[in-house]
Structure 1
Amino acid sequence: MVTSSALYIASAAFFALHLLPSTPARPRALAMVGEGVYTAIFSILSVILLWLLAREFNAADYGAKLWLLPAWWLWIKAFLILFAYVLIFAGVLTPNPSSPGSANSLENPDIANGIFAITRHPVMWGVAIWALTHMISQSTWRGFAFFGSFAATALIGSWLQQRRKRASVPGWADFEARTSFFPFLALIENRAALRLKSIAWGPVAVAVIAWGAVLHYHGWIFGTPALR
């Protein structure tokens, strides 16, 4: 295992920081410094740690691949990345009960019938699918450390966030009852209905355009072709 220890440290620090909002430390910090200062400090630290994480990832030895992938994986990878982009853009561009200051979106009686019928955390699952797909493709300890920190942060952070939402957001419990954490589970259990009229197609179109652009320019931006 030749990956630099600095990459593991940066990954752990990034993960730990982003678990903070889901712990009792968040309300204590808010009480001490106020929401504005807390948000500013958290944002600055997030940017610094993201920069450090990317720097150590680029500096680390690539290392040997732990497995080789069949040619058809490229098609699965492309589809999963597209699905991840749809979740991310739809979750960001649609009023999202999980976002700060968006609890009033729960007043919409159809809130659970659009993108949230797939999962109540579309943005975090989108990030996790993107990260896990890259982990599989990289198949190195370097890739595990970098992309694994994003996947763990997204999934564990959103899972822990739910406890705080239940205690502080009116209507969240009903939203949970009509949706699922794991993608498609509420649909399988008939607790949700994916209605096409409830889906915001604008964000889906943006996701498809962004996906195509990244596929085309990935090699130029990141130095390696996307479908590799």
Structure 2
Amino acid sequence: MSLLILGLVLFFGVHLVPFTPAKAALRARLGEGPYKGGFALIAAVGLILIIWGFASTRGTLDEADMLYYPPAWARHATMALVLLGFICLGIYLHKGRLRLWLRHPMALAIIFWSVGHLISNGDKPGVIVFGAFLVYALLDIAVETARGTRPDFVPKPRHDIIAPLAGIIMYAAMLFLHPYLFGVPVINM
């Protein structure tokens, strides 16, 4: 579990820097390229440690590690919420009117994904991981809203059709890949 915690500290620690005045100071001191490179490297190491630490807890949990037991309908709710998350991700990746309307599609994608997984994972490592992502996404929306940050681009109307379709395609790919990547089948066949 210590790898998981270390990964979360690194990943979210570096992601919290842009919310602080330290971002401007670091960019000025390091330069744009090294700042972005360092950010990406620390985030990647953190993400790898999160995945590795989370995977290392599978099969080692006992009764004391269960905080709650998911309800019978959890799988269906998770699938619906994650689908909405992937559609939001598709919207984030495209510059359509939907992205302007949602304002925070990436944070919304993380919220749908994390809430869905919190419904289906009642063990300590699951609650820690998915809860951390949920808190970060909510914080991101709050900070960016308080700053008045809004997307600024000329929308491409065709992206409003492409974006949800891209989200659905990514969702379908994840349905197939989930058991191979994470060892947990989404659909029982």
Write the letter of the residue equivalent to 2:26: A
- Could you tell me which residue of structure 1 aligns to residue 6 of structure 2? 9
- Could you tell me which residue of structure 1 aligns to residue 144 of structure 2? 161
Write the letter of the residue equivalent to 1:37: P
Deviations along 1:81-134, whole A, 9 cap, x unmatched? 110100111112226xxxxxxxxxxxxxxx5xx2443x3201111012202211
Q: Is the 8 A contact 1:78 1:227 kept in 2?
A: no
- Partner Cα distance (2:121, 2:71) in 1: 13
Deviations along 1:201-227, whole A, 9 cap, x unmatched? 111111111212211332133211125
- Could you tell me which residue of structure 2 aligns to residue 62 of structure 1? 61
In structure 2, relative to structure 1, the CA distance for the partners of 1:158 and 1:19 (3 Å cut) is farther
Write the letter of the residue equivalent to 1:19: L
Q: Does 1:206 align with 2:128?
A: no
Write the letter of the residue equivalent to 1:94: K
- Partner Cα distance (2:143, 2:25) in 1: 17
Q: Is the 8 A contact 2:10 2:42 kept in 1?
A: no
- Partner Cα distance (1:80, 1:116) in 2: 21
- Could you tell me which residue of structure 2 aligns to residue 220 of structure 1? 180
Q: Is the 8 A contact 2:88 2:105 kept in 1?
A: yes
Q: Is the 8 A contact 2:14 2:43 kept in 1?
A: yes
- Partner Cα distance (1:74, 1:52) in 2: 26
- 2:129 maps to which of 146, 164, 181: 146
Write the letter of the residue equivalent to 2:71: P
Deviation at 1:199, TM superposition (A): 6.4
Deviation at 1:63, TM superposition (A): 4.1
- Partner Cα distance (2:158, 2:181) in 1: 35
In structure 2, relative to structure 1, the CA distance for the partners of 1:58 and 1:140 (3 Å cut) is same
- Partner Cα distance (2:20, 2:134) in 1: 18
Where does structure 2 lack aligned partners over 5 or more consecutive residues? 152-156
RCO higher in structure (CA 8 A, sep ≥6): 1
With structure 2 as the length reference, what TM-score do the two structures score? 0.82
In structure 2, relative to structure 1, the CA distance for the partners of 1:20 and 1:161 (3 Å cut) is farther
Q: Does 1:41 align with 2:42?
A: no
- Partner Cα distance (1:45, 1:19) in 2: 12
Deviation at 1:163, TM superposition (A): 4.4
Number of residue-to-residue matches in the alignment: 179
- Could you tell me which residue of structure 1 aligns to residue 120 of structure 2? 137
- Partner Cα distance (1:129, 1:13) in 2: 23
In structure 2, relative to structure 1, the CA distance for the partners of 1:20 and 1:162 (3 Å cut) is farther
The structure that is helix-richer by fraction is 2
- Partner Cα distance (2:23, 2:120) in 1: 35
The Cα RMSD (Å) is: 2.4
| 3-state SS, counterpart of residue 200 of structure 1 | helix
- Partner Cα distance (2:181, 2:86) in 1: 18
Q: Percent identity?
A: 26
- Could you tell me which residue of structure 2 aligns to residue 72 of structure 1? 73
